[in-house]
């Protein structure tokens, strides 16, 4: 199962160790990229990241990780503590693990293997939505779908990784059990994944992904507020 790993920091030797030794031994299928703290939150809005390994040396950086935890709760966070922090400050980020300098190879391997095993378990138990498109049959993990939008005779499926469309209706979607239990109607032409709703406004709902606003009509706002 592919895992997209983002490394935040400047320690070249750690990056080389991860890419050359740790990740290939513990994960089957992965992609890796390097980032910096500046602009990190904006960068994450356009990427599908499974794991973040972050060199953390300041309270400001810890605060960014707290924000990441709130907006991307499924991301596995691994902290590399470059200085001493109070345990309460560290645990406020809900880290998957914490590595201390000097890094221990066995500890790093253990972390990646645990992440890989957890992702494999989730992939087997996670609901999948299947649809027929012009390109063929597509299977999507339900949590990857942001929302469905009705466009004339077609339904447009907006996901974290791309968009699809198929012939259908909002009513037919609502009649499907897995959709009815995970999505909420916000407007005549929109079904939105509950887990991606960041906040509910007067006439729209905001998603965690890109802070995108989805129309919210008075008809559905009342039921959404009390859901």
Q: Kindly report, residue by residue over 24-78, the tens digit of the pLDDT.
A: 887 767 789 999 999 888 888 777 788 999 999 999 999 999 988 877 777 889 9
Q: How many CA atoms lie within 13 A of 32 on its CB side?
A: 15
At residue 78, the pLDDT reads 95
Assess contact for 25 and 109: CB atoms under 8 A: yes
**Ramachandran bin of 219, using left for φ above 0, alpha for ψ from -120 to 50, beta for the remaining angles:** alpha
Instruction: Find out if CATH 3.40.50.2300 is the number for domain 3-125.
Output: yes
Question: Which residue ranges does the chain devote to CATH 2.40.50.1020?
Answer: 128-225
At residue 15, the pLDDT reads 92
Burial (Cβ within 10 Å: 0-12, 13-18, ≥19) of residue 217? middle
At residue 139, the pLDDT reads 76
Whether 154 has a pLDDT exceeding 60, the answer reads yes
Q: Kindly report, residue by residue over 99-140, the tens digit of the pLDDT.
A: 988 999 999 999 998 888 877 766 666 688 888 777 667 778
Q: How confident is the model at residue 227 (pLDDT cuts 50, 70, 90)?
A: low
Query: How many angstroms separate the CA atoms of 127 and 141, rounded?
Result: 6
At residue 183, the pLDDT reads 94
Whether 226 has a pLDDT exceeding 80, the answer reads no
The per-residue pLDDT of the chain, averaged, comes to 86
Whether 174 has a pLDDT exceeding 60, the answer reads yes
At residue 125, the pLDDT reads 66
| CATH number for the segment(s) 128-225 | 2.40.50.1020
Question: Which residue ranges does the chain devote to CATH 3.40.50.2300?
Answer: 3-125
At residue 222, the pLDDT reads 80
At residue 1, the pLDDT reads 54
At residue 2, the pLDDT reads 66
Query: How many angstroms separate the CA atoms of 118 and 130, rounded?
Result: 23
């Amino acid at each position: 199962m592919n895992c997209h790993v983002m490394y935040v920091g400047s320690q070249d030797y750690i990056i080389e160790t991860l890419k050359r030794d740790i990740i290939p031994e513990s994960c089957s299928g992965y992609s890796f990229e390097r980032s910096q703290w500046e602009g990190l939150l904006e960068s994450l809005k356009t990427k599908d990241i499974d794991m973040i390994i972050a060199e953390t040396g300041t309270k400001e950086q810890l605060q960014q990780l707290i924000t990441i935890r709130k907006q991307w709760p499924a991301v596995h966070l691994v902290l590399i503590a470059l200085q001493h922090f109070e345990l309460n400050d560290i645990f406020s980020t809900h880290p998957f693990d914490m590595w201390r300098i000097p890094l221990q190879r066995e500890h790093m391997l253990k972390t990646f293997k645990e992440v890989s095993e957890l992702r494999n378990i989730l992939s087997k138990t996670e609901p999948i939505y299947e649809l027929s498109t012009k390109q063929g049959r597509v299977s999507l993990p339900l949590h990857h779908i942001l929302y469905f939008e009705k466009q004339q005779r077609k339904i447009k499926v907006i996901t974290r990784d791309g968009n699809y469309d198929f012939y259908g209706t909002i009513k037919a979607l609502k009649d499907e059990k897995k959709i009815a239990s995970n999505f909420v109607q916000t407007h005549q032409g929109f079904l939105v994944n509950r887990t991606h709703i960041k906040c509910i406004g007067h006439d729209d709902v905001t998603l965690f992904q890109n802070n995108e606003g989805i129309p919210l009509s008075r008809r559905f706002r009342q039921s959404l507020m009390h859901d």
